[in-house]
Amino acid sequence: MIRSTIKGIGYHVPAQVVTNQDLTELMDTSDEWIKTRSGIEERHWVQGDEAASDLAFPAAKMSIENAGITPKEIDLVVVATISSDYFFPGVSSQLQDMLGLRNVGCFDIRAACSGFVYALSTADQFIRSGMYNTALVIGAEAQSKFINKTTEGRDISVLFGDGAGAVILQRSQDETGILSTHLHSEGKDLKNLWMEGPGSSGSNQINKLTIEQAQTYEPYMNGREVFKNAIVRFPEVIQEALDKNNLSIDDVSLIIPHQANLRIIQSVAKRMGVEQNKFYANIQRYGNTTAASIPIALCEAVDEGKIKAGDNIILAAFGAGYTWASAAIRW
């Protein structure tokens, strides 16, 4: 059976570390308030002209080197991001040039916090179909460029960090690799987690007035509703991956969830009756890096020896849309 296997991994975060204490100088908040509500202690933010592509590029280079391939071997680039350098074109096209790739297919996916699993699933299907042999899949975000760093915006701004994570997928016919992926969406509650503008709808079109009244250009989150949905969808999509591959939770060495909030991760583990240490968490150090959170966590879990050859792992995500997704992988 043809599968795609993760052959290389890499990640990169900006040099600037922003602690909870640093945020008290920008807004009315406290280290205790942030840690109690999210588990976050610090995050990395871009500086000056740094953008999503500046994070994606070193992460991509690391994954290529880790895979032991050359850039010319890459057939496809899929980037998950909602904070691209430009409104268009996407970060993937920038990377084609920055990495010196052939004129290969490149596109971005906008599925917010579920974006990396969506991108991984998409690249996996291209490889399984026989169309491509090697794909570069990246989650990259510079979300700090879009948040309101004042007391008015603190419910959102304390949560988000910047970073990028990347994997190299290659065609394989052995027993390792991506076993299955599962993608879902339900749009009826999309306004609970969204950024209304700029867009093509009504008053969200860019003009002088909307720029002066730019509240719609900031993310909005109904935290209570997002929490309620996340702790339901995470277990569902994890169980879906288990059932598809005839696995029990005991067959899984590690679950890597999107790092949205430590309370969500803890609640999902409790809801599933699973020990907390089966769920990997690094949100304390990075905050919510949106589409980058899962690949960054994957890299750190491997570096820490928590994932070994032959292990079954599950990636699980929930985000704006709402979207939710999972991937079962044999390492």
SS3 263: helix
In angstroms, the CA 2 to CA 175 distance is 9
In angstroms, the CA 318 to CA 291 distance is 10
Catalytic position from the list 20, 106, 113, 312: 113
Catalytic position from the list 44, 288, 299, 312: 288
pLDDT tens digit at each of 331 positions of the chain: 899 999 999 999 999 999 999 999 999 999 999 999 999 999 999 999 999 999 999 999 999 999 999 999 999 999 999 999 999 999 999 999 999 999 999 999 999 999 999 999 999 999 999 999 999 999 999 999 999 999 999 999 999 999 999 999 999 998 999 999 999 999 999 999 998 877 888 766 666 555 566 556 789 999 999 999 999 999 999 999 999 999 999 999 999 999 999 999 999 999 999 999 999 999 999 999 999 999 999 999 999 999 999 999 999 999 999 999 999 999 9
Annotated catalytic residue 288: yes
Amino acid (1-letter code) at residue 295: P
Query: What phi, psi does 228 have (nearest 5°)?
Result: -60, -40
What six digits make up the tokens of 208? 């002088």
CATH homologous superfamily for the domain 179-330: Thiolase/Chalcone synthase (3.40.47.10)
Tell me yes or no: is domain 3-174 CATH 3.90.1010.10. Answer: no
For CATH 3.40.47.10, list the domain ranges present in the chain: 3-174, 179-330
pTM, full prediction: 0.96
The gap between the terminal CA atoms of the chain, to the nearest Å, is: 16
In angstroms, the CA 219 to CA 50 distance is 20
Catalytic position from the list 258, 261, 299, 312: 258
Annotated catalytic residue 113: yes
Find out whether 280 and 80 touch, Cβ atoms under 8 Å: no
In angstroms, the CA 289 to CA 45 distance is 10
